[in-house]
Structure 1
Amino acid sequence: MKQRGRHRRRRRGRAVRATLAAAALALTGAATMISASQATVADDPGALKPLTSAAETDALRLTEHRVPAAWLDRLSSAMGEPVGVDAVLDSADRTLRGAADCTTGEREALPVSPAATRAYCWDDADTAGWRPGAVTTSGDAEADGRWGAHRVVLSAWSRDDGTPEGGLARVSFVDADDAGRLSYASALLAVPVDGGQDYRGLASPVSGMVWYQDKLLVTSGAGDREALFVYDMDRIQRVTTRADAVGRVPGGWAANGHPYVLPAVASYRLSAADGAARPGAISLDRSTVPAGLVASERVSAEGDRPTRLWRYAFSTDPARSGLPAADSAGRVEAVEAYETGAAEVGGVLSHRPPGADRSDWYLGRAAGGQNGRGTLWRLDTEGARAVECGADHSQRCWSRPAGSLSHWAQTGEVWSQSGHMLFAVPLRSVEDALH
C-alpha cells in the first residue's frame, strides 16, 4: 500500500554530479546547429481567444464511467493482492544512462534553448520497437513532490503489436532519488474485460499523462470512444509469467513480458456534441485552487481550424481522490477554455505566477510533419511569445520532436521526453529565454 507524506522521508537527494551537469549543459549548446531552412518562423499564433458559448463548451464535456468494483475485486482475487509504487521501485532492474553516456544522435533531441540541466537516455534493448510518450512525476502526485520517501518520474511508451486491437502501452516507474543514477521498472497499461475475469492491453499511444494523488490519468488515441483512462496507483498487479501474451494464460497471468500490469479503474468518454475535443496533451496545474487538469488537442499544421486549450477542476471530495470534479450524472465540465492559432501542439502547461490574476499557457509545438526542432511558446489573452535562439533569432529551439510537459512545482523544473532523451529544464530558464 502507499507510503506517502505520512511516512518518514529518506533524504537521499544528492547533488547532481559535476560531470553530469556539465555534460547536460554542454550537449544542448553543442547540439546540431539550426539550418537556414529553420530560420525565423513568422507563425505567431496570437493571443488566446476565450470560449464561452454553450456550443463551444459542450464540446469539451466528458462523462465518467467507473469500472465496477466487483470486476476489480475479482481480478485481484485471481491475481493476488495488489502492490503499490514502492514495490515497483524496489524491483527496478534497469538503469538510464547519464547525458555524458548518450550518443550524439540521442542528444540531438534535446532543446537548444533553454538548456537541459538534467538529461538521461533510455536502455536501447528495453525500448526497441517502443515509441516514447508523455511524462509526469511525483511532483504532480503530492504537494511535497514525493511519493512516500521517493522522488519518481513516470514515462509512457507505446507500440503497435500487429494485432487487430492496435497496440500496447506501458509506463516506466523511474526511481529519481539519486540524480546520478536513475533506475526503473515498467508496468503494462490494461483494461479489465469479461467482468474482471481477464484484461486487454490499452491499445493507444499515451500522448498525455497526469499523476494526481493516487490516480494516473492517461489520454486515449483516436480509435477509442474514451478520451481518458484512469489507473489506481494502489492497484498495481504482479503477473505470474513473463510470456509475450497479455491477460489470462494457461497457469497464470501475462503482461507482454512486463513484471506488472495496471488495470484501469475508470474512463472518461467524449462529449456527443459535434466537434467534441479529444485531449492530446494534458498536464497538472498546481497554481490554481483547486488544482486543474489542463488539456490541448492536436490539430495538424494543414488543418483549417484553431486548436482548443481547456481546463477541468480536480475534485476536492476525499471520496474522489485524484479524479476531476463531476456532477451527479458523472459529467465533467471545462471551467476555462480558449482557442489558439498554434498547431501541432505536443505539450501543454498552465501556470499562474504568484500574485498574478491570470495564468500563462506554455505550448510545445512540433515542426510540421514532425521533422526538425519544435518551438516553445508562452501565451495569454494579450499575445504570444516564443523562445528564440541563434544569431537569426530562430524559434526552432525546443526538443526534436516536441513532447509532453510536466511542471515539478517543488523543484521549479519542467520535465519532458523527446526521442530517447528524458530531460528537465528550469521554468525560470524558460522565462529568461522568453525575455
Structure 2
Amino acid sequence: MKHRGRHRRRRRGRALRAALTGTALALTAAATMISTSQATDADDPGALRPLTATADTAPLRLTEHAVPGAELNRLTASMGPAVGVGAVLADPDGALEDAEGCADDDRRALPVEPAVSRAYCWPERDTDGWRPGAVTTSGDADEDGRWGAHRVVLSGWTRGAGTPDGQGLARVAFVAADDDRAPRYTWALLAVPVDGGRDFRGLGSDVSGMVWYEDKLLVTAGRGEGGALYVYDLDRVQRATVDADAVGRVPGGWSAAGARYVLPAVASYGTAGAGAPRPGGIALDRSTAPDSLVVHEAAPADEEGPTRLWRYAFGARPERAGLLEAEPVAVYETELTRVRGVLAHRSEWYLSRATGAPEERGTLWRQDTEGARPVRCGADETYRCWSGPATSLSYWQATGDVWSQSGRMLFALPLASIDESLER
C-alpha cells in the first residue's frame, strides 16, 4: 500500500559533472560535423494539427479487458502471498554504476545538450541480450514523488520480442533511487495469466512505453499482444520460487526466466480495428485536469508520416484508480517522423526523434499548435544533440527532472534546461 513521505531533492557532485563535461565536449564536436542542409521534417515539422473528425478519433477508443478476480486470486493462492514495492526494493539483484565509472562507449549514448544532472550505467553481465526500453518513476505514481518511503525508478527491458519462436520476454527493474551514488535494482518479469489463473506466460512485447500511475503500471503492447496497453497492479507482485530459464509453472514451483519476482497483468486495453494506430511511447501529464496519459503513434522507421499524438484521461472514481477512460480527449498530427519518445506539459509537447542511422544522434523538439523548436547544440545551428537510442521521456514533477534511458545509460536532466536550450 502507498504511504506518503516527504521528498528531499538531492544534487549531484562535482565529479559527475566533470566526467560528463569531457564526454559532452567530444560529442558536441562530432555533432556539429553533421550537415542539416537537406530540408526534411527533421528540420522543421511545423505546428501540431488538431484532429477532430470521428474518422480520426473513433479508432483510438479503448476497450478494456479485465482479468477476472477469481483468476488472479487462483494464481496468488498457488504462488503465495503478493508482496509490495518495498519488499522488492529490499531484495536487490545488483547496483548501477555512477556515470563517472562507466565506459566511454556507454557514455556516448548520453545527450550532448542539455547536460545530464544524473547518469548511471547498467552492468553488462545483467543486461546482455536485453534491449532497453521505457522509464517511469514514483514521480509519476504520486505527486510527492515517493512510493512509501522510497524514490523509485522503473526501467523496462525486452529480450527477443516479436521473434517467430514467440519467446520474447519483457521485464522491469525496480531501482531504489534514494541513494544517488549507488542505486540498487531488482528484476521483475512482466507476465500474463493463462489457463484461468493456473499458469502465466511472459509478455512478448517491446517496452517502448511505460507509466506508473497510483498503484497501476501501464505498459505498451505489440500487435501480437492486442495492439494497445497492458495494466499491472504494483500491490500484486509475486515471488518466483524456482531459478530457471522457463516461464510459468514448472516442477517444484514457479519460474520467471531468472527473475525472482513476477508482475501478472490485471487488465489490458485494445483499440478499435486492425488499422488503429498502436501506442509507441507514453507519458503522464499532471498539468491537465484530470491527469492524462499522452501517447505517440508507433510507426515503422521508413514511414513518411505524419505521426499521430493523443491523450486519454485517467478515471476520477476511486474504483477506477489508475485506469483510463475509453475516449481520447485530444488528438493531434505532427509532421515529425521516427518519433521515439513523448512528453506533454501544459500546452507543450516534447518529442524525441531517432535518425536513420544507429551511429547518428537524435533530436528533441517542443511542439504546440503554433510551431516547433529544436534543442540546439550550443550556439551552433546543429541540433542533433539528443541521444539517438533514447526511447522514453518521463517527467518527475516534484523535482522538475526528465528521466530517460539510452543504451546502458539511465539518466536525468532538468526540464528547465531543455527549455533553455530550445530558446537559443
Distance 2:16 2:34 in 1: 32
Contact 1:89 1:184 in 2 (8 A): yes
Contact 1:31 1:112 in 2 (8 A): yes
Q: Which runs of 4+ in 1 moved over 6 A?
A: none
Q: Which of the residues 371, 374, 382 maps onto 1:383?
A: 371
Following TM superposition, by how much is the alpha carbon of 1:106 offset from its aligned partner in structure 2, in angstroms?
0.5
Q: 1:204 to 1:300 in 2, by over 3 A?
A: closer
Q: Which moves more between the two structures, 249-258 or 295-304?
A: 295-304
Q: Which of the residues 332, 341, 345 maps onto 1:347?
A: 341
Q: How many residues align?
A: 418
Tell me which residue corresponds to 2:276: 276
Following TM superposition, by how much is the alpha carbon of 1:303 offset from its aligned partner in structure 2, in angstroms?
1.8
Contact 2:297 2:307 in 1 (8 A): yes
Contact 1:167 1:201 in 2 (8 A): yes
Question: What amino acid maps onto 2:67 in structure 1?
Answer: V
Question: What amino acid maps onto 1:187 in structure 2?
Answer: A
Following TM superposition, by how much is the alpha carbon of 1:398 offset from its aligned partner in structure 2, in angstroms?
0.2
Distance 2:145 2:304 in 1: 41
1:237-252 correspondence to structure 2 within 5 Å: 237-252=238-253
Q: 1:58 to 1:199 in 2, by over 3 A?
A: same
SS of 1:279's partner is: strand
Distance 1:18 1:388 in 2: 24
1:103-252 correspondence to structure 2 within 5 Å: 103-160=103-160, 164-252=165-253
Distance 2:363 2:35 in 1: 11
SS of 1:414's partner is: strand
Distance 1:402 1:40 in 2: 24
Distance 1:40 1:288 in 2: 38
SS of 1:335's partner is: strand
Q: 1:342 to 1:223 in 2, by over 3 A?
A: same
Distance 1:18 1:390 in 2: 21
Tell me which residue corresponds to 2:389: 401
Matched, 1:63 2:59: no
Q: Which of the residues 412, 421, 425 maps onto 2:400?
A: 412
Contact 1:372 1:401 in 2 (8 A): no
Question: What amino acid maps onto 2:400 in structure 1?
Answer: G
Q: Which moves more between the two structures, 20-29 or 311-320?
A: 20-29
1:181-202 Cα deviation digits (max 9, x unpaired): 1110010000000000000000
Distance 2:351 2:182 in 1: 30
Tell me which residue corresponds to 1:305: 305
Matched, 1:22 2:18: yes
SS of 2:332's partner is: strand
RMSD (Å) for aligned C-alpha atoms? 1.7
TM-score w.r.t. the length of structure 1 is: 0.92
Tell me which residue corresponds to 2:27: 31
Contact 2:32 2:382 in 1 (8 A): no
Question: What amino acid maps onto 1:308 in structure 2?
Answer: R
Contact 1:40 1:392 in 2 (8 A): no
Distance 1:74 1:300 in 2: 40
Distance 2:51 2:173 in 1: 36
Mind listing any 5+ residue stretches in structure 2 that lack a counterpart? none
Tell me which residue corresponds to 2:79: 79
Distance 2:129 2:182 in 1: 24
Following TM superposition, by how much is the alpha carbon of 1:12 offset from its aligned partner in structure 2, in angstroms?
7.3
Contact 1:95 1:183 in 2 (8 A): yes
Q: 1:40 to 1:146 in 2, by over 3 A?
A: farther
Following TM superposition, by how much is the alpha carbon of 1:41 offset from its aligned partner in structure 2, in angstroms?
5.9
Q: 1:14 to 1:363 in 2, by over 3 A?
A: closer
Distance 2:52 2:8 in 1: 48
Matched, 1:425 2:422: no
1:333-384 Cα deviation digits (max 9, x unpaired): 10001000000111000001xxxxxx10000110124441110000000111
SS of 2:223's partner is: coil
Q: Which moves more between the two structures, 363-372 or 227-236?
A: 363-372
Mind listing any 5+ residue stretches in structure 1 that lack a counterpart? 326-331, 353-358
SS of 1:144's partner is: coil
Question: What amino acid maps onto 1:31 in structure 2?
Answer: L
Question: What amino acid maps onto 2:230 in structure 1?
Answer: F
Distance 2:94 2:17 in 1: 22
Distance 1:191 1:369 in 2: 35
SS of 2:319's partner is: helix
SS of 1:156's partner is: strand
Q: Which moves more between the two structures, 22-31 or 361-370?
A: 22-31
Q: Which of the residues 327, 330, 347 maps onto 1:333?
A: 327
1:222-246 Cα deviation digits (max 9, x unpaired): 3332410000000000010111100
Following TM superposition, by how much is the alpha carbon of 1:36 offset from its aligned partner in structure 2, in angstroms?
2.9
Q: Which moves more between the two structures, 381-390 or 245-254?
A: 381-390
Question: What amino acid maps onto 2:154 in structure 1?
Answer: L
Tell me which residue corresponds to 1:4: 3
Q: 1:370 to 1:271 in 2, by over 3 A?
A: farther
Tell me which residue corresponds to 1:258: 259
Contact 1:312 1:333 in 2 (8 A): yes
SS of 1:296's partner is: strand
SS of 2:278's partner is: coil
Following TM superposition, by how much is the alpha carbon of 1:271 offset from its aligned partner in structure 2, in angstroms?
1.2
Distance 2:51 2:203 in 1: 32
Contact 2:173 2:186 in 1 (8 A): yes
Contact 2:281 2:392 in 1 (8 A): yes
SS of 1:361's partner is: strand
